[in-house]
Amino acid sequence: MNFDYAKDSKEQRPYEHYLAAYKDMDPNEISERTGISYDEESRKFTVCFMGSTYLVSFPDYEISHVEDEIGVYPLEEAMNAKIFIIRYLAERFAAPFSGKFLTYHDVPWGEVYFRQFQGRCLMRFAFSYGNKLEHFQKVMEHLGAEKSTEGDCSYKLEFMNNLFIKFILWEGDDEFPPSSQILFSDNFAVSFAAEDLAVAGDIAINMMKAVERKLF
């Protein structure tokens, strides 16, 4: 499956930086800090990522998926997804989800980066699925997302271990273009910066489009 991501030094250098840090860490400390389970015998973490389960080896960071019905595995291929996870393992920590969702504006520095997020995620999502609600619905159900009540069609997706993104669409018509909202569980804002949330939205939309190509 082909994912849209850059294969240049802009991503390769950060990846190498986090990989070097990851290799020097204590895997049990990583597990305790992030809440991601680690098996000492196999030397692998178990990561839940957009409906699929992955085994992530330590210290070499080799990634393999557990076969499932989704059939699309970005963590094995997409560099932005690989960087997101290894950065979480190397630097971040788990935080509890209170049940509350935040807009991008609500996140610290979200106002500063909103224009980038708007183009990269909100507009792309709206114009990808705002006139294809049936496609969006089938894609999200294929990913095991939970249907929500907001907008004309909305779903809550577990992006990774206990971190959720809510995707909301309002259908376009002859007079108005489609519009969207993307909300993040409040523990996202504890563990990640505003720029990271834009990356998460981008990764998730790439996943939707890859699943759409598979289904349709």
Looking at the predicted structure, is the pLDDT value of residue 1 above 60? no
Rounded to the nearest integer, the mean pLDDT of the chain is 93
Q: How many CA atoms lie within 13 A of 136 on its CB side?
A: 26
3-state helix, strand, coil in the chain (%, to 5): 45, 20, 35
Looking at residue 100, its pLDDT comes to 97
- Check the CA dihedral 109-110-114-117 and report its sign: positive
pLDDT of residue 172: 82
Q: Encode pLDDT of 47-57 as tens digits.
A: 999 999 999 99
- Strand partners of residue 65: 54
pTM for this one? 0.92
Query: Average pLDDT for residues 141-149, to the nearest whole number?
Result: 97
Q: What's the rounded mean pLDDT across residues 38-42?
A: 98
